[in-house]
Chain A
């Protein structure tokens, strides 16, 4: 069945692209987890918040306009200007850094030394808080986002595959761009962590908090830095997913897509996040195509990644690339 095979190949290619985006979100988790031991459930909502802020700034919306209107009875919505994409991205980054500072200062500084599970629950609270603030600030209607990324079917791939298989693959330009940007981002982050002063300090903190403190690394600074980096990754992920399917609440659910990726790859490993993302992206698309849609009634993508990760973990509890878990009494 060469036709079926061609379909499967196309599905695989699309799965790879989706996997890159999952990996991108998972990366944000890994960054924070490695440096501070906090499992940041709010990563997805941070992506939503970043995307909302970016869209809001570009449209020149007045922040908290609905709330202001409700309290003072005024009727303001827009400043009446449009901010160019590049400037808006910079401004959004400033907002994300401010957010990182506030989160570190107001929340996690008070929770140092608590059990990891308490920290995890605090990030769930943070996720709710941010979601509410984002909606209050920019309104909850679905926004479209256009920062000038190419979209639509890629003609070259369509033509080439048509000549090869007699069937043109549908691959979105946006997915290709997203994969390239994600790859660049990962390379950039790895270089940053390996060769810069802050990067080395970051790795030192990840390795051992107390040893890092004793040689003069400021934990506070590193944590703010890491949260800012995670905010940056969230912004990139928010732009990609926002352009793809509009800025709306469902964007925050990509965190739930990234969790099995993390489990598969191991919470502490950057390569793990990437490989895990690719495995899950391809796996869930192929499963849906081969088994889910024909036999199980479809929409298996919702749970397949979790089941895969669950079965995998039973055999290797620390994930693919995670550090070996050693427990002592």
Chain B
């Protein structure tokens, strides 16, 4: 009743090939955008922004990036934390070297720098496949973190070895540093999320995305039918690292403000983002959002239930969280290898027939 395709006619090719061909989907998409842009900024406060919305938005960008590489192109990467660190440090160097240029430019440039680094570390993927590649990307993770830890130029020779974001504005409004408004930081990140999701969605349903998927499904067969594996793999690494770099830059400048590289961008971060796309769904943009939302919400919910309601010590709740996350990964892989996105697809199938299933 609610969700149906009948009566939804497309009379032109653009109508037929739009992102959301079903009217209900389209209106839902506009509705979500409307809520995100025009409602949420007026009702949020600092707590909600810092504990939920900013991490969700930023991780969503990282998850989209990693999903392009792992879910669409089939190249497993465990170096996400390292690439986020590249984005963060690039952003820091740009912010301190060119204080007058807009943050928008800085964040985009950090994305581009990360893309270049990503291509560099993606080069071995032409020779190495599968597990060997997954382990090889760990080289990027460890090397990059070490580099930012040991070479003082990257953290401007500060005594603590940390980097901290100076105050910068966007259209005259503070978005980094100490004096920020909740809605401003939220909207700034949201802008990048919409931008990333839009680009990712359209890339993955175009010819580039189809080449990635061909490489994922069987690289030799793809090569035989004329997909250039060099270009396909390296573009996947570049686009993926671009988004991951943007998320790293935002994570540092907008969300945390001060970063110690080994703690924030360690290997745990790589696994966290990987878990997001496994739970959300490999090869799905919606899945990236769902996974990010799930893993951002889970610790908050557990903390509220465990610490605030039951009064357990925080360390037990933290351990329990490990158990639950690990267990959930296994359960998802067994029960639904395609993640939350697949559940959503199944739900849509059901809704399409509801309430007359035959």
Interface set of A (CB-CB < 8 Å, partner B): 39, 66-67, 70-71, 107, 110-111, 114, 116-118, 120-122, 124-133, 135-136, 140, 256, 259-260, 262-263, 267, 296-300, 302-303, 306-307, 309-310, 313-314, 317, 319, 325, 327-329
A-B contact pairs, 7 of them (CB 8 A): A107-B330, A140-B315, A310-B136, A313-B124, A317-B129, A327-B220, A329-B220
Nearest chain-A residue to B322 (Cβ)? A132
User: Which residues of chain A have C-beta atoms less than 8 A from B334's C-beta?
Assistant: 107, 110-111, 122
Q: Is B326 an interface residue (CB 8 A)?
A: yes
User: Which residues of chain B have C-beta atoms less than 8 A from A107's C-beta?
Assistant: 330, 334
User: Which residues of chain A have C-beta atoms less than 8 A from B312's C-beta?
Assistant: 70-71
What is the count of residue pairs linking A and B with beta-carbon distances less than 8 angstroms?
A: 144
Contact indicator A259/B150 (Cβ below 8 Å): no
Q: Is B236 an interface residue (CB 8 A)?
A: no
User: Which residues of chain A have C-beta atoms less than 8 A from B134's C-beta?
Assistant: 117, 120
Contact of B271 among A110, A124, A132, A135 (CB under 8 A): A124
Contact indicator B143/A303 (Cβ below 8 Å): yes
Provided the pairs A124-B329, A131-B326, A313-B127 are in contact, do residues A300 and B146 lie with their beta carbons within 8 angstroms? yes
- The answer for the CA separation of A127 and B315 in the assembled complex, in Å, is 18
**Top 9 A-B residue pairs of the complex, sorted by shortest distance between their CB atoms:** A125-B329, A129-B326, A132-B322, A128-B326, A132-B323, A306-B139, A303-B142, A135-B319, A297-B150
**Chain B 324-335, CB within 8 Å of chain A: the 1/0 string?**
111111100110
A318 CB to nearest chain B CB (Å): 8
Provided the pairs A110-B334, A302-B146, A317-B129 are in contact, do residues A309 and B323 lie with their beta carbons within 8 angstroms? no
Which residue among A111, A260, A298, A306 has the maximum number of chain B CB atoms within 10 Å of its CB? A306
Contact of B333 among A39, A111, A306 (CB under 8 A): A111
A283 CB to nearest chain B CB (Å): 14
User: Which residues of chain A have C-beta atoms less than 8 A from B221's C-beta?
Assistant: 329
User: Which residues of chain A have C-beta atoms less than 8 A from B333's C-beta?
Assistant: 111, 114, 118, 121-122, 125
User: Which residues of chain A have C-beta atoms less than 8 A from B1's C-beta?
Assistant: none
Contact of A309 among B136, B313, B325 (CB under 8 A): B136
Which residue among A310, A327, A329 has the maximum number of chain B CB atoms within 10 Å of its CB? A310
User: Which residues of chain B have C-beta atoms less than 8 A from A307's C-beta?
Assistant: 139, 143
Contact indicator B146/A309 (Cβ below 8 Å): no
B274 CB to nearest chain A CB (Å): 7
Q: Is B218 an interface residue (CB 8 A)?
A: yes
Provided the pairs A107-B330, A296-B150 are in contact, do residues A117 and B76 lie with their beta carbons within 8 angstroms? yes
Contact of A256 among B130, B138, B337 (CB under 8 A): B138
**Chain B 9-39, CB within 8 Å of chain A: the 1/0 string?**
0000000000000000000000000000000
User: Which residues of chain A have C-beta atoms less than 8 A from B321's C-beta?
Assistant: 132
Within 8 A of A (CB), among B262-277: 267, 271, 274-275
- The answer for the CA separation of A255 and B76 in the assembled complex, in Å, is 18
Contact indicator B329/A135 (Cβ below 8 Å): no
User: Which residues of chain B have C-beta atoms less than 8 A from A309's C-beta?
Assistant: 135-136, 139
- The answer for the CA separation of A126 and B140 in the assembled complex, in Å, is 24
Provided the pairs A70-B316, A122-B333, A299-B150 are in contact, do residues A313 and B132 lie with their beta carbons within 8 angstroms? yes
User: Which residues of chain B have C-beta atoms less than 8 A from A296's C-beta?
Assistant: 150
- The answer for the CA separation of A258 and B76 in the assembled complex, in Å, is 19
Q: Is B195 an interface residue (CB 8 A)?
A: no
- The answer for the CA separation of A111 and B145 in the assembled complex, in Å, is 34
Contact indicator A117/B220 (Cβ below 8 Å): no
B259 CB to nearest chain A CB (Å): 18
Which residue among A121, A129, A133, A262 has the maximum number of chain B CB atoms within 10 Å of its CB? A121
Contact indicator B135/A133 (Cβ below 8 Å): no
Which residue among B129, B132, B143, B151 has the maximum number of chain A CB atoms within 10 Å of its CB? B132
B187 CB to nearest chain A CB (Å): 34
